[in-house]
Structure 1
Amino acid sequence: MQTATTSKPLPPVVIAALGVVFGDIGTSPLYTLKECFSPAHGLAPTADNVLGILSLIFWAIMLVVSLKYVAYVLRADNNGEGGVMALMALALRAKRSWSLGLMIVGVAGASLFYGDAVITPAVSVLSAAEGLEVVTPELTPYVLPLAICVLVALFFVQRYGTAKMGTWFGPVMVLWFASLAALGLYNIMQVPEVLAALNPYHAFLFVETHRFAAYLALGAVVLALTGGEALYADMGHFGRRPIRWAWFGLVLPSLTLNYFGQGARIIKEPSAVTNPFFNLAPDWLVLPLVVLATLATVIAAQAVISGAYSLTRQAVQLGYCPRVDIRHTSENEIGQIYIPVVNWALLASVLIVVLVFRSSSALAAAYGIAVTGTMVLTTILAFIVSRYRWRWPLPAALAVTAFFLSIDLAFFSANVLKVVDGGWLPLLLGLVIFTLLTTWKRGRELLYQRLFADELPLDDFIRNLESYPPARVTGTAVFMTGSTQGIPHALLHNLKHNKVLHERVVLMTIKNVDEPFMQDDTRVVVRRLSPAFWQVIARYGFKESPSVPDVLALCAEQDLVLEEMDTSFFLSRESLISSSRPGMARWRERLFVLMSKNATRATDFFHIPANRVVEMGTMVEL
């Protein structure tokens, strides 16, 4: 069972967490304050407005990231794992009667995450490259080509895994956060009155004075919270304690100092509002800062790309996604994987987004929708867990949820107003992904119903075969089946066409459970159904990759020894046909058929020796 790395010494784990967990939120100072004073909001860079915006940013970080995610949501661990799919699994176990609604919420959150995975690399790398404009306006034409080159290189090296790059992530991010703090402190010392923004009064005064303009500005303030979901999603890699130490010990102080330093710079020189982050540095330091910012944004992008791989594997195991080619890039860390189809789809999407929007400011509205939508859905799922799993009193659970949900909805509604300006992008991406995930889930349910609608009871079938056996051949036949009660179609077809039965027959079912990992000593259950028939049930968590050879090795520990060269594996290969039968719309049936045709072959996904496989075809009308 894979668990969080809490057993390692704390300082190295904290540094490692800095390199993976905080890349997204750590690069938000590149664009947040600049977008708050976007001309679209009509806010002049006056001292009062700067103090009001800073106060909103600071208290948003404290309430949403520190209080909601670090103190509250991190408690909802699924055997040490976090993330929206893990939270959905926890909620489902706590309240099975609400399964449909909870599944919709969880899948919607996962869908928005994919939108985030497209937008984060684009906006982060673009914002870093835009530092060239501060060096000299003559470099402006090179911003877009530089961003594209960095992104292409980032996605092309994914196949080699993050192990080697990961050793540099932590130290680079330590340098990045130290730079944020130093630059911020330097500018705060010149305008110390900016620290008055720590008082929430300035936030209330700003909202009271500007009202609608302040409401619009919330759509940019939320950019300071990007990456809050990563604190929870990456909990399984590091554990709660290192993440909390890293957040309160370095990340939060560094971000606060930098935002306040930017505010001080704008108060001193209002023209710096065009790019307050890079204007923090003296002229001779801007170019090195651009290089460091680019490295930091690459790390931020890497974290969300790795998150997309992990989420895809979870979706496959939970039955929401077709089988895909999953490659492990580390012999020691189960979480380090590479999924080619996801990688290239993300690269294509990111490049299209960069070429269409062409600047980080144009992408800011799109970014906010993805972040706030996921925040809302996480709060809803967390309520189910707190009320029905932790057994909080209903008034307490409702009070906590209402408090956080009011903040989340305020940010979300402010971003909804920007749908026309770019907010449509994550909504469109999320809708497409949601349609694909739910179509696959529903299609598999229909296929299962069609395959086993008129099946005979397994026990009666085996008794008949034992009483009136067909011709027997030597060796072992393993029939892969999704049902523990039904008769594998491959077995029926083998008897019908070949009219023989092996001397030993194993019915193997690989089940996915809503836990991240299973212990090897409880993974496999072996039952002897008759002198010739055995049943093997293997369970895999949603963060594991199933392997038939590993299952066979565990079977040997339970006195079922299967020699690979004496064993044949029989699989049923369904040819799907869309029909007018009730169950699913025809267009979704056609989509399901297309997804099924492009799914990774079962032999590859389950690591079954290819030269020992026999596939038996069957035609199924959906």
Structure 2
Amino acid sequence: MEQLDETDTENYEQNQHSKSPIRKRAKNDLIDIEDSSKTNDRNSSENVGWVTVLKLAFQSIGIVYGDIGTSPLYVLPGVFPSGIQSNDDLLGGLSLIIYSLIIVLLLKYVFIVLTANDNGDGGTFAMYSLICRYAKVSLIPTQQAEDRNVSNYKLDLPKRRVKLAYAIRSLLEKSQMAKQILLFIAILGTSMIIGDGVLTPCISVLSAVEGLERSASSLNADIIMWISVLILVLLFQFQKFGTDKVAYTFSPILMVWFLSIGMIGIYNFAVHDSTVIKAFNPWYVIQYFKKSPKDAYFSLGGVVLCLTGAEALFADLGHFNVRAIRISTCSVVFPSIVLAYMGQISYLRKHPMDVQNAFYRSIPKPMYWPMFVLAVLAAIIASQALISATFSIVQQSVALGCFPRVKVVHTSPQYEGQVYVPEINTLLMIACVGVTLGFKSSAAMGHAYGIAVVFGFTLTSFFLLLIMIMIWKTHPIFVLAYAFTIGAIEFIFLSALLVKFTDGGYFPFVFGAAFVMVMYIWNYGYRLKYKNELDNMVSLAKVEEITSDPKISRLPGIALFYAEVVQGISPIFTHFVSNVPALHSVLVFVSIKTLPISKVSPEERFMFGRVEPYDRAIFRCIVRYGYREAREFANSFEEMLVDRLKEFILDHPQEVETESHTKLEREVEFIDAQLQEGSMVYLMGENDVICAKGSSFTKRMVIDYAYDWLRRCVRQPEETFLVPRRKLVKVGMINEV
């Protein structure tokens, strides 16, 4: 493919940035950027020392790998649902499992997808935000040229440029439909992860508890089902303690589990049939499909279950880091589960009738009860992987305006990615109980689970291909190689599972559709409200008229006017003054903005600018966060804001057209005096959103009913921003969209 030479590259970059120069203020922005040319510290957790990496690698075993680690409980019954026809079929099935793990788990996720992280954060929305940062594809117009100055915002791109990358980027930026499709895919991927968060606990716990049938045949399916429900309810009660504490509790247990299944696999391999090592020869896969193409094709629905949890491995990355995940996968997880599958196949070569309960039947009798207890504990831990991943991806979605506001609790002061979402925890618990009571057995649940898993794989591959082409500038040969190998394998898996759509495979689509609808309605309403405020911004002339009006009283203190728009003064300002004819001596219009990066350093958190007329102590402030960050509590936030405001005043004498340092110091003293004489007050709008006259029936149903209901049910903005209620003043306002 033709490459652009160095001159073309420089011209292209200049053309891209000349439209919005960093140091020049746009008229409608009312912002002057503070100098933020700081050292690029790129917080990525990859910069931590090896002691911390090994510690995180150990923790990750208790959080990330439970799902993959417990897959030997239920994979082989799904691979051979009609029984084993010949011993050669066993070798073909084992070969399929081994190469699925090598290609999808190791090659795709561990060595490729983990590299597509966003400053150490993973998941569907992390990939989407990475694309939004590189190309202007976000549907919410909050992008500003100044954002590029934030340290973690800049991408370390390869020097080589290709026309294909520019062509695709241009297409995405110019096409509103393409932007809508990207957002829809990101929302769909998120919904599938949440669906996994429901199905994983159910199938893992059910398959483990079903082991009781070997020693207690009197237990029927209903009793096993209710035991599983009890375990699931207890599991969700532990989530509030946080990933850090849960990981240290679970990691030793799961480490013992991996060592145990690996050692039992070695035992069965040595005792029953060591020739199964031939399955490492991919020729047995070809022979398997040649002998019975239909049975081999349908067995893929069971094979894919050995990959469950691979998507969680990426989504949970924010809790750990890339090196920790790679170390734990390659040193513990992959060898153990491969040995476990080899051991089961070795046992089945002599006892083919035991395939429907292969895991427990292949355990030596003296080890049965210890392994049963370990299996139940490991199944509980397996649920943790997707639960933690769900919390992470919901946090990202909320921050980027694609999920209704929910409470996000940061459970670890050391690792910011470790979060707990109470509302989602309750929702998952209720859904898990309902699914368990509905399906009743792990076998019945397998089709639904497999479809959710593989659908997530394909959506991740779609975003990965875009990143490879646009951001990494990967050579087209390697892009095509990925699409026609890994992409094709995932498509074949998905097609084999869709055949079982009516046998429970519909569940992830129904569940996903419900979440997609909620997320899309919320994002649509949020975008319309933002655009309405943007279209009705208060002009500078109106601000001057209001602040110079002698009828408007000036009170001591500092008022923070909160608004969502970052480009100007929100109409809530004029609405407030028309109802309350009084203003504080110092006014700061505050916008909380989430950048499409995981973290913003505290030094780059605030952007200040003066609002004309410059001599009336009116300022604009944009407070920037990453989508993975916790908000500061009121006292800390107020202290930081005031300190940075005073720094801004002293560093920008040109704004007040004076070189007199004494005058600037007097203004700083005035700020301090107002804070002492008065107080810090937060002013916010209570915005009702209704459709304008003449709107379509569909739009009225979405905005006037669905979005309005969601807005009333979820947490209010002051809760999200941790605004103290004793300092809060709200004024009602209706936005016609």
Quick one: distance in 1 between partners of 2:343 and 2:118?
A: 39
Match of 1:576 in 2: 689
Match of 1:21 in 2: 64
Question: Does 1:471 find its partner at 2:553?
Answer: yes
How many residue pairs get aligned? The number is 618
Alignment-mate amino acid for residue 203 of structure 2: V
2:94 maps to 1:54: yes
1:585 and 2:699 aligned? yes
Distance 2:408 2:445 in 1: 31
Q: What code does the residue aligned with 2:617 have?
A: A
Q: How does 1:277-292 map to 2 (within 5 A)?
A: 277-292=359-374
Superposed CA deviations along residues 315-369 of structure 1, whole A, max 9, x for unmatched, are: 1100001211222333433233222211111111110100010000000000011
Please list the CA deviations of residues 500-550 of structure 1 after superposition, one character each: whole Å capped at 9, or x if unmatched: 222111100000111011111111112222222111111111111333634
How far the C-alpha of 1:8 sits from its partner, in A, is 4.3
Separation (CA, whole Å) in 1 of partners of 2:481 and 2:720: 45
Contact 2:118 2:130 in 1 (8 A): yes
Cross-structure match for 2:425: 343
- Whether the 8 Å CA contact 1:515–1:542 is kept in 2: the answer is yes
| 500, 519, 523: which one aligns with 1:418 | 500
Check if 1:150 corresponds to 2:190: no
Tell me how far apart the structure 2 counterparts of residues 545 and 535 of structure 1 sit (CA, whole Å). Answer: 22
Letter of the structure 2 residue corresponding to residue 23 of structure 1:
G
- Mapped to 1, the partners of 2:645 and 2:226 lie a distance apart of 62
Match of 2:253 in 1: 172
Percent identity for Structure 1 against Structure 2: 32
Where does residue 268 of structure 1 map in the other structure? 350
Give a deviation string over 1:562-617, Cα, whole Å, max 9, x none: 74970111110012335664476333222111111112022211111110101100
Question: Is 1:4 paired with 2:45?
Answer: yes
Deviations 1:288-320 (A, max 9, x none): 211101111111111211211111111110000
How far apart, CA to CA, are the structure 1 residues paired with 2:334 and 2:211?
Answer: 24
Contact 2:533 2:565 in 1 (8 A): no
Residue by residue over 1:454-511, the C-alpha shift from the partner in whole angstroms, topping out at 9 and shown as x without a partner, is: 3332x33333334445222222211101113343343222211222222111100000
* Kept in 1: contact 2:315–2:393 (CA 8 A): no
Contact kept, 8 Å, 2:691 with 2:699, in 1: the verdict is no
8 A Cα contact 1:4 1:237, kept in partner:
no
Range with greater deviation from structure 2 (343-352 or 9-18):
9-18
> Aligned letter for 1:612?
K
RMSD: 2.0
Q: Residue 134 in 1 paired to residue 214 in 2? A: yes
Q: Which residue of 1 aligns with 2:193?
A: 113
Cα distance in 2 for residues equivalent to 1:484 and 1:230: 34
Please point out which of 269, 278, 293 is paired with 1:188: 269
C-alpha distance in 1 between matches for 2:196 and 2:693:
37
Give the one of 320, 327, 334 matched to 2:416: 334
Are residues 548 and 451 of structure 1, via their aligned partners in 2, closer, same or farther at CA, if it must alter by over 3 Å? farther
- Structure 1 distance, partners of 2:115, 2:412, is 29
Q: Is the 8 A contact 2:242 2:419 kept in 1?
A: yes
**Residue 597 (str. 1) matches residue 677 (str. 2):** no
Between structure 1 and structure 2, the one with the greater Rg is: 2
Q: Which amino acid aligns with 1:4?
A: S
Which residue of structure 1 lines up, in the alignment, with residue 665 of structure 2?
Answer: none
Counterpart in 1 of 2:184? 104
**Aligned partners of 1:65 and 1:504: how far apart in 2?**
57
Corresponding position: 1:235 with 2:278: no
CA contact (8 A) 2:606 2:621 kept: yes
Distance 1:558 1:456 in 2: 25
- Higher mean alpha-carbon deviation, 558-567 vs 163-172, is at 558-567
CA distance change for structure 1 residues 598 and 382 in 2, over 3 Å: closer, same or farther? same
Q: Which runs of 5+ in 1 are unaligned?
A: none
Greater mean deviation of Cα atoms: 470-479 or 412-421: 470-479
CA distance in 2, matches of 1:176, 1:315: 34
> Residue 360 of structure 1 aligns with which residue?
442
Shift, 1:279, TM fit:
1.1
More off after superposition, 344-353 vs 321-330 = 321-330
State how far apart, in whole Å, the 1-side matches of 2:708 and 2:111 are. Answer: 44
* Letter paired with 1:382: L
State the distance in 1 between where 2:644 and 2:735 align: 36
Change (3 A) 1:131 1:613: same
Matches of 1:347 and 1:580, distance apart in 2: 42
Task: Identify the range of structure 1 (571-580 vs 73-82) with the bigger mean alpha-carbon deviation.
Answer: 571-580
Give me the TM-score of the superposition, normalised by structure 1: 0.95
Do the aligned partners of 1:94 and 1:384 also contact (CA within 8 Å) in 2?
Answer: no
What is the rounded CA distance, in whole Å, between the counterparts of 1:7 and 1:582 in structure 2? 58
Contact 2:269 2:343 in 1 (8 A): yes
- SS at 1:139 equivalent: coil
**Counterpart in 2 of 1:66?**
106
Tell me how far 1:2 sits from its aligned partner: 6.0
> Is 2:441 the counterpart of 1:399?
no
Give the direction of change, closer, same or farther, for the CA distance of 1:587–1:540 in structure 2 (3 Å limit): same
Q: Distance in 2 between matches of 1:33 and 1:265?
A: 12
Q: Residue 580 and residue 59 in structure 1: after superposition, are their counterparts in 2 closer, same or farther (change >3 A)?
A: farther
Query: 1:308-327, aligned counterparts within 5 Å?
Result: 308-327=390-409
Query: TM-score, normalized by length of structure 2?
Result: 0.81
The 2-side partners of 1:485 and 1:410 are apart by 48
| 2:647 is equivalent to residue 555 of structure 1 | no
Matched residue, 2:453: 371
Letter in 1 for 2:81: S
